[in-house]
RNA sequence: GGUCUGGUAGCUCAGUUGGAUAGAGCAACAGCCUUCUAAGCUGUGGGUCCCGGGUUCGAAUCCCGGCCGGAUCACCA
């Protein structure tokens, strides 16, 4: 609750108690921003009091308004005027309150950083798992959404007072990588990233696609010879070879392991480059090849404890029918482990490594069932954290003709997309950026990088993470309107103003108490200034809501609204040419504070802001 | 079929625990640069909030029933 809401809430409670004898709880105090077509800053919805007051809504509104303005409030009298429209009481808050808010916000170096109750002076620890790629193909747009969400959520939770550890579990073993390895052995002629000039992850991805192509050919051949599809898929020699390779891998066959290590190292080099370009990183990386054995042993323990059962063929299962779910395989009949097994082991190791208070998995909504099961299994195995794990389940990125599929080549590649964004940004900014004084090629490129990436990140993060979103490769991502560059541009314009102010030796960059008093006594705040201060004052509660909801989109909406408010103000009023010194100081402070808040909000989104563009 | 999830302007999306005449951007059209950066600002047109019931002072929002889409229910990850 903001300071304004706090004060008003108290006063309204007093009012309705005195007027009607109502003991109002927080739920009954409904405050909202006044709609622009009415006069006022804050609106109280009075319907909750109408029944007990036994009066018409408009009359109740008028009586409460009257009380707030005229009655014997000694401290914090902040309501100046009011008007009542039906059951809505529109309140005008005194300039002195807003000016005080601005002074406080301007002075707060860490505005937007929230505190969280601590135990033993330790911030609670949240671990955020995101990215978690397979090592058989390069990252695509779906991964981009995951990475941007994971990064942003980590930043948002830090701003909400958590200590955050970002982690990545790399799915580096399994049948998928064996397929790439096999295709490379058969068709690769020793191709390496060096020899071909390809990025390692792309090279491996090409062989994954190659495997699929050859495999399908074999299946088609078998079917042409009269075999049914199901059998053909199992009997195709390539598939059998891949499975044999996986078994060799688990047995530790040196040749297979060496090849595996070599090819994975190519992939990691490629991933590192993509991550760097995207601007994401991790505090701790786990590899499935190091955790799956731990998972196996946990399953064995659970089996011994009677939590699980073994079937005749040797496979191990969990019976979840009591929880309203199915039976779930934990170990295959040949003793090899599955995805779930690995996740159990990873969870255990993580809790050994860190004093985790909350574990968050940023994983697509297609895996909701998996995490429901994982939660129950961890709980059964006696891990106290099982029940409370959070599956941050986000929606798919869809193309106009449906889902992306690696094997069908209908994917938007992460590297290509980012390069395209840089190129677009460079093209769009050409006329504009080249006119900036003393601009170097280097800076121009850097601006294009920040803006292109900003456009992409904002485009993805502004959508409610829970919902599926659509990306149309035919239409380029916008740089105008409700976009990252729009907000970056607002920031750059403010920086330009601030640079000029400091050049001309404007001392009072920060509004002082005396300025505030002068402003109050003279013109007062204009509506655009007031709207901006009110917006700035909202920021902490927006950060809190984004944290509670795990939603970067909330931050996007706020940053956009703040930029809109500023642009409107900037258009209507001059900052540097304002003759009145107190007003000039106020506006400079306002501009600097908006810039500071934009930078903070954009940082929560992982978006950099350029000083010029 | 069971479970979960979504359906808001031509398109992409907002819409805090139910609140005033449902909002942005893009696209279309019309204006605004001698003035702190026009990636900006202002205006116009554009809606059966999927459909039908219910709850109440009030429903895009909550409940029930339909229609349509997506995900999931693997010895894949």
Beta bridge partners of A129: A167, A361
Pairing state of beta strands A327-331 and A358-364?
Answer: unpaired
Q: Using CB atoms within 10 A of its CB, is residue A374 exposed (0-12), middle (13-18) or buried (19+)?
A: buried
Q: Using an 8 Å Cβ cutoff, are A365 and A392 in contact?
A: no
Q: Determine the 3-state secondary structure of A361 from DSSP.
A: strand
Quick one: which H or E segment has residue A286?
A: strand A284-287
- Average pLDDT in chain A: 92
Q: Is the CB of A38 under 7 A from strand B?
A: yes
A92-143 per-position pLDDT tens digit: 999 989 999 999 999 999 999 998 877 667 899 999 999 999 999 999 999 9
A480-515 per-position pLDDT tens digit: 999 999 999 999 999 999 999 887 766 555 666 666
Vertex A455, ends A272 and A110: CA angle to 5°? 80
DSSP A337: B
Vertex A174, ends A170 and A177: CA angle to 5°? 80
Q: Protein footprint on strand B: which nucleotides are under 7 Å from a CB?
A: 4-6, 11-17, 19-21, 24-27, 35-42, 57-58, 69-77
Give dist(CA A362, CA A576) in Å, integer.
46
- Nearest nt to the CA of A36 via C1' is B20
Residues 535-554 of A near strand B (Cβ < 7 Å)?
Answer: 545, 553-554
- Nearest nt to the CA of A483 via C1' is B25
Residues 254-273 of A near strand B (Cβ < 7 Å)?
Answer: none
* Residue A342, phi then psi, degrees to nearest 5: -60, -40
Residue A301 in tokens: 């323990």
User: If you search the block for the tokens 């195709």, which residue do you land on?
Assistant: A236
Q: Pinpoint the alpha helices (H) of A434-462.
A: 441-461
DSSP A477: P
Name the more confident of A175 and A200: A200
Whole-number percent of chain A with pLDDT over 70: 96
Given a cut of 80, whether residue A275 has pLDDT beyond it is yes
pLDDT of residue A510: 64
**In sequence order, which residues have a C-beta less than 8 Å from that of residue A28 and are 6 or more positions away?**
A22, A48, A49
- Nearest nt to the CA of A472 via C1' is B12
pLDDT of residue A512: 66
- Nearest nt to the CA of A486 via C1' is B39
Half-sphere exposure of A177 (CA within 13 A, CB side): 26
Q: Using an 8 Å Cβ cutoff, are A364 and A393 in contact?
A: yes
pLDDT of residue A465: 96
**Reported pTM:** 0.95
pLDDT of residue A506: 63
Q: Is the CB of A479 under 7 A from strand B?
A: yes
Given a cut of 70, whether residue A516 has pLDDT beyond it is no
pLDDT of residue A460: 97
Residue A65 in tokens: 């308004």
pLDDT of residue A478: 94
- Nearest nt to the CA of A588 via C1' is B36
Q: Is the CB of A84 under 7 A from strand B?
A: no
Given a cut of 60, whether residue A353 has pLDDT beyond it is yes
Query: What is the band of A549 on the pLDDT scale with cuts at 50, 70, 90?
Result: very high
CA distances from A487 to A53, A458, A533 (A): 47, 10, 18
pLDDT of residue A376: 93
Whole-number percent of chain A with pLDDT over 90: 75
Own/partner long-range contacts of A65-72 (Cβ < 8 Å, ≥24 apart):
A65/A89, A65/A91, A67/A15, A67/A18, A67/A19, A68/A11, A68/A12, A68/A15, A71/A15, A71/A18
CB burial of A431-465 (b: ≥16 within 10 Å; e: otherwise) equals: eebeebeeeeeeebeebbbbbbbbbbbbbbbbbbb
Segment A56-81 mean pLDDT: 88
Give dist(CA A317, CA A292) in Å, integer.
17
Give dist(CA A253, CA A350) in Å, integer.
28
A197-242 per-position pLDDT tens digit: 999 999 999 999 999 999 999 998 998 888 888 888 888 999 999 9
Residue nearest to nucleotide B32 (CA to C1'): A571
Residue nearest to nucleotide B4 (CA to C1'): A368
Q: Is the CB of A243 under 7 A from strand B?
A: no
CA distances from A532 to A6, A36, A96, A500, A566 (A): 20, 13, 15, 22, 7
Residues 122-181 of A near strand B (Cβ < 7 Å)?
Answer: 134, 171, 174-176
Q: Using an 8 Å Cβ cutoff, are A60 and A16 in contact?
A: no
- Nearest nt to the CA of A171 via C1' is B77
Of A346, A324, A306, the closest CA to residue A132 belongs to: A346
- Nearest nt to the CA of A556 via C1' is B14
pLDDT of residue A521: 67
Query: What is the band of A385 on the pLDDT scale with cuts at 50, 70, 90?
Result: confident
Q: How far is CA A547 from the centre of its chain?
A: 10
Segment A398-426 mean pLDDT: 89
Give dist(CA A459, CA A457) in Å, integer.
5
Q: How far is the CA of A181 from the C1' of B7 (A)?
A: 44
pLDDT of residue A228: 83
Segment A142-165 mean pLDDT: 97
Given a cut of 90, whether residue A334 has pLDDT beyond it is no
- Nearest nt to the CA of A487 via C1' is B39
Query: What is the band of A74 on the pLDDT scale with cuts at 50, 70, 90?
Result: low
**In sequence order, which residues have a C-beta less than 8 Å from that of residue A142 and are 6 or more positions away?**
A364, A396, A397, A404, A411
pLDDT of residue A513: 67
What is the sign of the dihedral through the CA atoms of A52, A58, A63 and A66?
Answer: positive
What is the number of residues in chain A?
613
pLDDT of residue A466: 93
* Residue A361, phi then psi, degrees to nearest 5: -105, 115
Segment A357-364 mean pLDDT: 95
Residue nearest to nucleotide B21 (CA to C1'): A37
Query: What is the band of A262 on the pLDDT scale with cuts at 50, 70, 90?
Result: very high
């Amino acid at each position: 609750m903001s300071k304004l809401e706090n004060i008003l809430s108290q006063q309204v409670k007093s009012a309705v108690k005195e007027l009607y004898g109502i003991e109002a709880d927080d739920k009954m105090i409904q405050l909202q921003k006044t709609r622009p077509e009415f006069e006022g800053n804050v609106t109280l919805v009075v319907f909750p009091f109408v029944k007990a007051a036994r009066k018409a809504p408009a009359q109740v509104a008028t009586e409460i308004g009257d009380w707030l303005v005229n009655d014997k409030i000694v401290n914090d009298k902040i309501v100046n005027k009011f008007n009542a429209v039906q059951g809505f009481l529109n309140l005008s808050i005194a300039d002195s309150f807003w000016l005080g808010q601005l002074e406080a916000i301007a002075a707060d170096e860490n505005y937007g950083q929230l505190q969280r109750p601590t135990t033993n002076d330790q911030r609670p620890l949240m671990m955020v798992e995101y990215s978690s790629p397979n090592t058989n193909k390069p990252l695509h747009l779906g991964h981009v959404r995951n990475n941007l969400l994971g990064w942003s959520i980590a930043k948002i939770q830090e701003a909400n007072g958590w200590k955050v550890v970002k982690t990545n579990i790399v799915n580096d073993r399994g049948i998928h990588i064996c397929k790439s390895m096999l295709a490379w052995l058969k068709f690769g002629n020793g191709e390496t990233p060096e020899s071909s000039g390809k990025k390692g992850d792309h090279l491996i991805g090409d062989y994954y696609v190659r495997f699929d192509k050859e495999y399908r050919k074999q299946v088609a051949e078998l079917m042409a010879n009269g075999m049914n599809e199901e059998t053909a898929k199992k009997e195709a020699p390539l598939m059998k070879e891949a499975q044999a390779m996986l078994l060799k891998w688990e047995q530790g066959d040196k040749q297979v392991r060496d090849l595996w290590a070599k090819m994975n190292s190519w992939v990691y080099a490629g991933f590192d480059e993509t991550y760097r370009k995207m601007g994401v990183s991790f505090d701790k990386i786990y590899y499935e090849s190091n955790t799956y054995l731990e998972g196996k042993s946990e399953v064995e323990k659970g089996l011994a404890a009677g939590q699980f059962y073994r079937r005749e063929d040797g496979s191990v299962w969990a019976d979840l029918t009591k929880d309203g779910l199915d039976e779930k395989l934990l170990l295959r009949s040949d003793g090899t482990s599955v995805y779930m097994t690995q996740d159990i082991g990873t969870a255990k190791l993580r809790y050994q490594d860190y004093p985790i208070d909350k574990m968050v998995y940023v994983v697509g909504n297609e895996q909701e069932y998996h995490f429901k099961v994982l939660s129950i299994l961890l709980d059964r195995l006696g891990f106290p954290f099982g029940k409370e794990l959070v599956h941050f389940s986000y929606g798919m990125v869809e193309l106009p003709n449906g889902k992306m599929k690696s094997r069908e080549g209908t994917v938007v590649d992460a590297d290509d997309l980012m390069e395209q964004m840089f190129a677009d940004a460079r093209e769009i900014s050409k006329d504009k950026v080249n006119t900036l004084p003393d601009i170097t090629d280097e800076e121009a490129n850097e601006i294009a990088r920040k803006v292109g990436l900003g456009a992409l990140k904002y485009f993805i993060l502004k959508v409610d993470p829970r919902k599926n979103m659509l990306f149309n490769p035919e239409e380029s991502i916008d740089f105008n309107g409700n976009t990252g560059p729009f907000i970056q541009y607002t920031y750059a314009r403010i920086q330009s103003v601030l640079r000029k102010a400091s050049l001309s030796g404007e001392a009072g960059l920060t509004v002082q108490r005396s300025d505030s008093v002068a402003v109050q006594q003279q013109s007062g705040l204009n509506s655009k200034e007031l709207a901006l201060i009110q917006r700035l004052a909202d920021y902490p509660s927006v950060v809190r809501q984004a944290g509670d909801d795990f939603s970067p989109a909330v931050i996007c909406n706020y940053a956009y609204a703040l930029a809109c408010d500023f642009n409107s103000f900037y258009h209507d009023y001059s900052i540097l040419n304002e003759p009145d010194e107190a007003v000039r100081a106020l506006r400079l402070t306002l501009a600097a504070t908006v810039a500071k808040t934009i930078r903070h909000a954009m940082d929560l989104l992982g978006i950099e802001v350029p000083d010029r563009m």
